[in-house]
């Protein structure tokens, strides 16, 4: 029986392990999150190949008796050097990676999870500072859809009234948005005006590469960011510090 398996992988994290090894955490299409060791010092070819946000085919050798996995080869298809050229890109990529890790890869539909991540990272590679911010909101919004926790933003969650022309109030505790009447007496509410909701509804249908065409004012931006981080916090059970930079 072969102990080497091949995966379509995206590197999410690369940490030094011991004196000259690295511990790599990847999102694979086949088995979700996988951890494996790369042996070799700074000059190792494999270590360079397994840098964060690289993606491609990876060969992993396992020794079940020793509970041990190592990367034996990595055919990198995308290097994404642009992610390291701008602080905001690198921070956004880190936020995407940590969100996926904290969600354990999204729980089953790994090829789809990887597709969402790759599309965002590919657009991020040439994004300016403003687009980086939008790409994070957009990723978190699509990720909430992927996790099945995206709240409806057209109608009140309690009375079902069409609220497209009025503000809705998102309840962090309920994970749903309510009209002014139904939101009454609820606590921890986020106000969502129509500008923010229109942008989310529209951008949810778009791939990241089309986002630059749709502007968003600062107020809508702030509302959208509060909403998407609150929604994903509900799923993860914690708020990630990497969302705010
Ligand atoms: Zn209502």
CATH code of the domain containing 65: 2.40.50.140
User: Is pLDDT at 29 greater than 80 in this prediction?
Assistant: yes
* pLDDT tens digits for range 144-167: 999 999 999 999 999 999 988 899
Distance 230 CA to ligand 1 centre (A): 21
Distance 178 CA to ligand 1 centre (A): 5
Distance 202 CA to ligand 1 centre (A): 23
Distance 145 CA to ligand 1 centre (A): 23
| Predicted pLDDT at 2 | 60
Q: Distance (Å, rounded) from C-alpha 7 to C-alpha 86?
A: 29
Q: Considering its fold, how many domains does the chain have in total? A: 2
Q: Is 170 helix (H, G, I), strand (E, B) or coil?
A: strand
| Predicted pLDDT at 64 | 79
209-234 mean pLDDT: 95
Same domain assignment for residues 60 and 101: no
DSSP state of 216: -
Distance 61 CA to ligand 1 centre (A): 56
| Predicted pLDDT at 67 | 78
Same domain assignment for residues 45 and 73: yes
Q: Is 116 helix (H, G, I), strand (E, B) or coil?
A: helix
Same domain assignment for residues 125 and 216: yes
Structural domain ending residue among the three candidates 79, 99, 119: 79
Distance 205 CA to ligand 1 centre (A): 26
| Predicted pLDDT at 1 | 54
Same domain assignment for residues 97 and 182: yes
Distance 39 CA to ligand 1 centre (A): 58
Encoding tokens for residue 29?
């299409």
Distance 166 CA to ligand 1 centre (A): 11
Domain membership of residue 130 as a residue range: 82-243
CATH code of the domain containing 125: 1.20.1440.120
Same domain assignment for residues 96 and 74: no
219-229 mean pLDDT: 96
Q: Which residues contact 116 (CB under 8 A, 6 or more apart)?
A: 139, 142, 143, 146
Distance 180 CA to ligand 1 centre (A): 7
Q: Distance (Å, rounded) from C-alpha 171 to C-alpha 30?
A: 36
Same domain assignment for residues 161 and 200: yes
Same domain assignment for residues 72 and 107: no
Same domain assignment for residues 15 and 101: no
Q: Distance (Å, rounded) from C-alpha 221 to C-alpha 31?
A: 35
Structural domain ending residue among the three candidates 30, 61, 79: 79
Buried b (16+ CB within 10 A) or exposed e, 123-137: bbbebeeebbbbbbb
Distance 158 CA to ligand 1 centre (A): 5
Distance 163 CA to ligand 1 centre (A): 8
Q: Distance (Å, rounded) from C-alpha 100 to C-alpha 19?
A: 28
Same domain assignment for residues 124 and 145: yes
Distance 154 CA to ligand 1 centre (A): 11
Distance 18 CA to ligand 1 centre (A): 57
| Strands of 168-171's sheet in order across | 176-178, 168-171, 189-192
Q: How far is CA 93 from the centre of its chain?
A: 8
Distance 217 CA to ligand 1 centre (A): 27
């Amino acid at each position: 029986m072969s102990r080497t398996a091949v995966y379509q992988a995206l590197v999410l994290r690369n940490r030094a392990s011991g004196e000259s090894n690295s511990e790599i955490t990847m999102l694979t299409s086949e088995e979700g999150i996988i951890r494996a060791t790369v042996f070799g010092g700074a000059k190792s070819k494999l270590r360079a190949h397994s840098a964060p946000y690289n993606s491609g085919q990876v060969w992993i050798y396992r020794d079940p008796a020793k509970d041990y996995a190592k990367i034996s080869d990595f055919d990198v298809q995308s290097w994404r050097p642009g992610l390291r050229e701008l602080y905001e890109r690198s921070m956004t990529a880190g936020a995407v990676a940590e969100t996926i890790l904290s969600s354990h890869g999204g729980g089953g539909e790994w090829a789809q999870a990887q597709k969402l991540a790759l599309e965002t990272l590919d657009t991020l590679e040439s994004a300016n500072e403003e687009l980086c911010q939008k790409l994070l909101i957009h990723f978190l919004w699509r990720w909430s859809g992927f996790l099945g926790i995206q709240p409806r933003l057209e109608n009140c969650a309690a009375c079902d009234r069409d609220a497209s022309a009025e503000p809705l109030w998102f309840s962090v505790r309920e994970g749903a948005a309510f009209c002014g009447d139904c939101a009454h007496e609820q606590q921890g509410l986020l106000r969502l005006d129509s500008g923010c909701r229109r942008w989310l509804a529209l951008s949810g249908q778009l791939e990241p590469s089309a986002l630059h065409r749709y502007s968003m004012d600062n107020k809508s931006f702030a509302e959208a960011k509060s909403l998407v981080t609150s929604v994903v916090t509900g799923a993860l059970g914690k708020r990630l510090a990497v969302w705010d930079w």
